[in-house]
Chain A
């Protein structure tokens, strides 16, 4: 009896040791490359911290935060980012929802359609943006077609008014597939009996969508909106691609986003204290958005 208890205790101990060994590599990496940098970022956000003039670095308290909140360029980046987010997130979510509903039907070539719809999401954003830049260049076949619909035949990404819509189009085009995947896997969880019994009651497809699918998919819809916002608020690669040899956010700040603005401060001006303060602000904005959404979704139930 005592022997069994001892063996059990020993196997417990060895299990614990194995667990820690299994977790050791990621813990070390996480500590060095996540915890230290995150803490350090918050720390230097309180400093005038330049990467190129190290000797002049000194504590400035909340000055970097005040500077950001009084900087018109910051508000421009914020406005652009919010525009993109509030256009792109509803657009991509709605389109993805409709397409997922269609792809959930028993139709021919369903797998081929699905593959085609996912493909944009897996390729490099820089590559995608590059192709779109040529498609939307002045005099391109697509632009000639769009001019029939009343659009100006100009190069979109260097046009002050059209550059941000251009980025939004590229962004949505690439993201839709991801949300189709999410919606489709969500649709698998809706029990078929619900549809069948509603058919007995004479519900049409539209009613079925509104009264069964949407309520059942509520957690999935929340996830799509929340993740979509978190992701859209951090858009960067498209901005980098359209800038070409001009400063990030070109033309004249028309495509400047929160993350590109952060990037310019930290890695172009090497003002890493200011950059880090902006990064903390971005984090807070994302956090607040997520909390608001959680509240809204939670209170409806």
Chain B
């Protein structure tokens, strides 16, 4: 019996490790290939053959620095907007008594169900009409809020005990001040969840940036990467350097905030 248990344990580790390799192999392939000169692609070579030329080419010939900057600014503005506006709305829905609260909450839930393709065509027309195509404004302003994070922060704030707010009221703080001075500072976990989830979605977004932006200088990384892949598919080493540059910031952020990433998915995912 004991022996059988140990055998099944070993088997479990073997399977889990095999799956880990399946999940990690594409990443290692990309990282490894990105350091190779073209003639060594798909071959096993020693480290002394490695080169950073692919990265240098991307920065000097493909404007990757510019794409990085555009992506960074787009993500920064969007995440900042979502953190501030969605928590404010979520807090109002969780803690304030006012007419229309239930209706607004139902609208939030209903908005999550409408697929994006129903919105993007008129959105594009509107963006084009006000000359926001090829601008950061067009990529950020419509996305400064998100029903899912409003819902997420409402679920979080509802768990904060009333006593905290009552104590603040007794101390003479207004409702708004209570939120900004007392509640937000103790809401790090939900804020971190919004940041990591919203950061990854915005950084990785393809459909909107590829549609709203046609000027190569205004590209974000993902869109730029796709054009490198389209035009230089015969140079895997170059394309993989692009893959590494695109994914690295998200990976680092994920490793740092994994706990909040999991929490965010769990609180929203289980209830939608």
Q: What is the interface of chain A, defined by CB distance below 8 A to chain B?
A: 12, 14-16, 18-23, 25-26, 29-30, 32-34, 36-38, 40-41, 44, 51, 99, 102-103, 105, 107-108, 113, 115-120, 122-128, 130-135, 140-141, 173, 177-178, 181-182, 184-186, 219-220, 223, 227, 230, 234, 236-237, 240-241, 244-245, 259, 262-263, 266-267, 272, 275-276, 279-280, 282-283, 286-287, 290
**How distant is the Cα of A41 from the Cα of B121 in the complex, in angstroms?**
7
Q: A23-B93, A30-B145, A122-B250 are in contact. List 12 more A-B contacts (CB 8 A).
A: A19-B92, A22-B89, A37-B123, A38-B118, A44-B122, A122-B251, A122-B261, A131-B30, A173-B22, A182-B265, A244-B229, A279-B117
Known: A115-B255, A116-B24, A118-B258. A33 touches B115 (CB 8 A): no
Q: A20-B98, A122-B250 are in contact. Are A275 and B121 (CB under 8 A)?
A: yes
Pairwise interchain contact B123-A127, C-beta atoms closer than 8 A: no
Query: What are 26 A-B residue pairs whose CB atoms fall within 8 Å in the complex?
Result: A12-B97, A15-B96, A18-B92, A18-B176, A22-B92, A23-B92, A26-B145, A30-B145, A36-B126, A37-B119, A41-B122, A99-B19, A102-B12, A107-B16, A117-B20, A118-B262, A122-B261, A130-B243, A181-B266, A182-B265, A184-B262, A220-B270, A234-B117, A262-B117, A280-B118, A282-B117
With contact pairs A107-B12, A132-B26 given, residues A14 and B250 touching in the complex (Cβ less than 8 Å): no
Minimal beta-carbon separation of A25 from chain B (angstroms): 5
Q: Chain B interface (Cβ within 8 Å of chain A)?
A: 9, 12-13, 15-16, 19-20, 22-24, 26-27, 29-30, 33, 42, 85-86, 88-89, 91-93, 96-99, 101, 104, 107, 111, 113-126, 128, 141-145, 147, 150, 174-176, 179, 200, 203-204, 206-207, 210-211, 222, 225-226, 229-231, 233, 236, 239-240, 242-243, 246-247, 250-251, 254-255, 258, 261-262, 265-266, 269-270, 272
- Chain B residues contacting A18 (CB-CB under 8 Å) are 92, 96, 174-176
> Closest approach, in angstroms, between the C-beta of A208 and any C-beta of chain B?
15
How far, in Å, is B128 (CB) from chain A's closest CB? 8
Contact B122 A241 (CB under 8 A): no
A266 to B222, CA, bound (A): 22
Q: How far is B265's CA from A178's CA once the two chains are assembled, in angstroms? A: 8
B247:A123 contact, CB within 8 angstroms: yes
Contact of A118 (CB < 8 Å), options: B27, B229, B261: B261
A14: which of B19, B24, B175, B207 is its contact (CB, 8 Å)? B175
Contacts of A133 in B (CB 8 A): 229, 233
When distances are taken between beta carbons in the complex, the residues of chain A under 8 Å from B174 are 14, 18
- Please determine whether A185 and B204 come into contact, CB atoms closer than 8 angstroms: no
CB-nearest residue of chain B to A245: B230
Closest chain A residue, CB of each to CB of B244: A127
| A26: contacting residue among B89, B119, B261, CB under 8 A | B89
Q: Which residues of B contact A267 (CB under 8 A)?
A: 121, 124, 211
Structural contact, B207 and A16, CB atoms closer than 8 A: no
Bound together, the chains give a CA A203 to CA B158 distance in angstroms of: 40
B261 in contact with A123 (CB, 8 Å): no
Q: Are B243 and A127 in contact (CB under 8 A)?
A: yes
A135→B33 CA distance, assembly (Å): 12
Pick the residue among B114, B120, B204 that contacts A124 (CB under 8 A).
Answer: B204
A107-B12, A119-B27, A267-B124 known; A33-B142 Cβ under 8 A: yes
Chain A residue numbers with a CB within 8 Å of B246 are 123-124, 126-127
Top-7 shortest CB links A-B? A185-B266, A19-B96, A40-B122, A37-B122, A33-B142, A22-B92, A124-B204
CB distance from B19 to the nearest CB of A (A): 7
Residue among B88, B111, B121, B251 making CB contact with A279, cutoff 8 Å: B121
Q: Are B111 and A30 in contact (CB under 8 A)?
A: yes
Q: Complex formed: what's the CA distance from A133 to B243 in Å?
A: 12
Residue with the greatest number of chain B CB neighbours at <10 A, chosen from A115, A124, A266, A272: A124
Q: CA–CA, A12 to B99, complex, Å?
A: 11
Bound state CA distance, A279 and B121, in angstroms?
9
How many whole Å from B250's CB to the nearest CB in chain A?
A: 6
Residues of B within 8 A of A36 (CB): 122, 126
C-alpha spacing A227/B207, complex, angstroms: 20
